[in-house]
Amino acid sequence: MSTTTAPRTVADLLAADRAHVWHPYASATRPGPVRLVERAYGARLVLADDPARPGEPREVVDGMASWWAAVHGYAHPALDAAVTEQLGAMAHVMFGGLTHAPAVRLAERLVELTPAGLEHVFLADSGSVAVEVALKLAVQHQRGAGRPRRTRMLALRGGYHGDTSGAMSVCDPVGGMHALFPGRLAPQVFAPRPPARGSDPAAVTAWVDEVRALARDHSDELAAIVAEPLLQGAGGMHAYPAACLVALREIADEHGLLLVLDEIATGFGRTGTLFACDAAGVRPDVLCVGKALTGGYLSAAAVLCTREVARTVSDGEGGGLLHGPTFMGNPLSSAVALASLDLLADGSWAADVARIERGLATGLAPLRDLPGVRDVRTCGAVGVVQLDHPVDVPRATDAAVAAGAWLRPFRDLVYAMPPYVASDAEVATIVAGMTAAVTA
Residues at the site binding ligand PLP, with contacts judged by CB under 6 A: 67, 126-128, 131, 160-162, 228, 233-234, 262, 264-265, 290
Radius of gyration of the chain from its Cα atoms, rounded to whole angstroms: 22
Cβ nearer to ligand PLP, comparing 73 with 159: 159
Instruction: Say if CB 107 and CB 121 are below 8 A apart.
Output: yes
Q: Active-site residue among 25, 200, 346, 369?
A: 25
Cβ nearer to ligand PLP, comparing 162 with 284: 162
Task: State yes or no: is 136 an active-site residue.
Answer: no
Task: State yes or no: is 420 an active-site residue.
Answer: no
Q: Which residues neighbour 255 within 8 Å (Cβ) at sequence distance 6 or greater?
A: 215, 216, 219, 222
> How far is 123 from 103, CA to CA, in rounded Å?
8
Q: Active-site residue among 49, 62, 125, 262?
A: 262
CB of 243 to ligand PLP, least distance (A): 21
Q: Active-site residue among 160, 240, 415, 420?
A: 160
CB of 24 to ligand PLP, least distance (A): 9
Cβ nearer to ligand PLP, comparing 24 with 146: 24
The residue of the chain with the least Cβ separation from ligand PLP equals 127
End-to-end CA separation in angstroms for the chain: 40
CB of 269 to ligand PLP, least distance (A): 15
* Pairing relationship of beta strands 231-232 and 238-239 according to DSSP bridges: antiparallel
> How far is 240 from 128, CA to CA, in rounded Å?
23
Cβ nearer to ligand PLP, comparing 127 with 433: 127
- How many angstroms from the chain centroid is the CA of residue 73? 16
Query: Residue 239's beta-bridge partner residues?
Result: 231
Largest CA distance in the chain: 67
CB of 68 to ligand PLP, least distance (A): 7
Task: State yes or no: is 200 an active-site residue.
Answer: no
Q: Active-site residue among 291, 352, 398, 420?
A: 291
CB of 233 to ligand PLP, least distance (A): 4
Cβ nearer to ligand PLP, comparing 128 with 378: 128
Task: State yes or no: is 240 an active-site residue.
Answer: no
Q: Which residues neighbour 121 within 8 Å (Cβ) at sequence distance 6 or greater?
A: 106, 107, 110, 111, 302, 303, 304
**Known catalytic residues?**
25, 160, 262, 291
